[in-house]
Amino acid sequence: MATYSRAYTLVPTYECFNRCTYCNFRAEPGESPWLSLEAVDQLLPHLRQKQVCEVLVLSGEVAPHSPRRDAWFRHIYRICELAIEAGLLPHTNAGPLSRSEMEHLQQVNVSMGLMVEQVSPKLLYTVHRHAPSKRPAVRLQQLEWAGELGISFTTGLLLGLGETETDWVDSLRAIAASHARHGHIQEVILQPHSPGQRQAQPGMALAEAALIKAVQLAKTYLPSDIAVQIPPNLVSDAGLVACLEQGASDLGGISPVDEVNPDYDHPTPASLAAAIAPAGWQLQPRLPVYPQYDSWLPASLKPLVNTWRQQLSENSYDHRIIV
- Number of domains composing the chain: 1
pLDDT score for 67: 96
Please write down the HEC assignment for all residues of 232-266.
HHHCCHHHHHHHHHCCCCEEEEECCCCCCCCCCCC
pLDDT above 70: residue 318: no
103-160 confidence digits (pLDDT tens): 999 999 999 999 999 999 999 999 999 999 999 999 999 999 999 999 999 999 999 9
d(CA 218, CA 212): 10
Model pLDDT, residue 198 = 75
Instruction: Inform me whether the pLDDT recorded for 322 exceeds 50.
Output: no
Judged by DSSP in three states, 74 sits in helix
Condensed to tens digits (0 to 9), the pLDDT of residues 44-53 reads 999 999 999 9
Structural domain span for residue 128: 2-306
Is residue 316, in this structure, part of any structural domain at all? no
- 172-202 pLDDT, tens digit per residue, is 999 999 999 999 999 999 999 998 877 767 7
297 pLDDT tier (thresholds 50, 70, 90): very high
Please report whether residue 33 resides in a domain. Answer: yes
Q: 117 forms bridges with which residues in the sheet? A: 157
Average of pLDDT values for 220-239?
97
- Give residue 8's pLDDT: 98
Asked if residue 285 is part of any domain, the answer here is yes
Per the domain annotation, does 252 fall within a domain?
yes
Q: Is residue 321 part of a domain?
A: no
CB-based contact 4:250 (threshold 8 Å): yes
What pLDDT does residue 240 have?
Answer: 98
| pLDDT reading at 317 higher than 70 | no
User: How far is the C-alpha of 228 from the C-alpha of 76, rounded, in Å?
Assistant: 27
- 141 is a domain residue: yes
User: Is 312 inside any structural domain?
Assistant: no
Provide the CATH number for the domain around residue 137. 3.20.20.70
Residue 321 is predicted with a pLDDT of: 46
Beta partners for 111? 91
- Please tell me the predicted confidence (pLDDT) of residue 278: 96
Lowest mean pLDDT among 64-78, 146-160, 256-270, 287-301: 256-270
CA dist 223 and 73 (Å) reads 33
CA-wise closest residue to 250 among 54, 72, 102, 46:
54
Nearest to 214 by CA among 245, 190, 233, 186: 190
d(CA 314, CA 41): 28
Chain mean pLDDT for the chain: 95
d(CA 232, CA 68): 36
pLDDT at 173: 98
Task: Tell me the mean pLDDT in the region 214-218.
Answer: 98
Is residue 192 within 8 Å of 212, Cβ to Cβ? no
Q: How many CB atoms lie within 10 A of CB 233?
A: 18
pTM exceeds cut of 0.85: yes
Dist. CA 189–CA 211, nearest whole Å: 11
The pLDDT tens digits of the residues spanning 235-245 come to 999 999 999 99
Distance CA 222, CA 219 (A): 6
Structural contact between residues 20 and 191, judged by C-beta atoms closer than 8 angstroms: no
- The pLDDT, as a whole number, for residue 323 is 42
The pLDDT confidence band at residue 260, using thresholds 50, 70 and 90, is very high
Residues 233 and 267 sit within 8 Å (Cβ to Cβ): yes
> Which secondary-structure segment (H or E) carries 8?
strand 2-10
| 320 is a domain residue | no
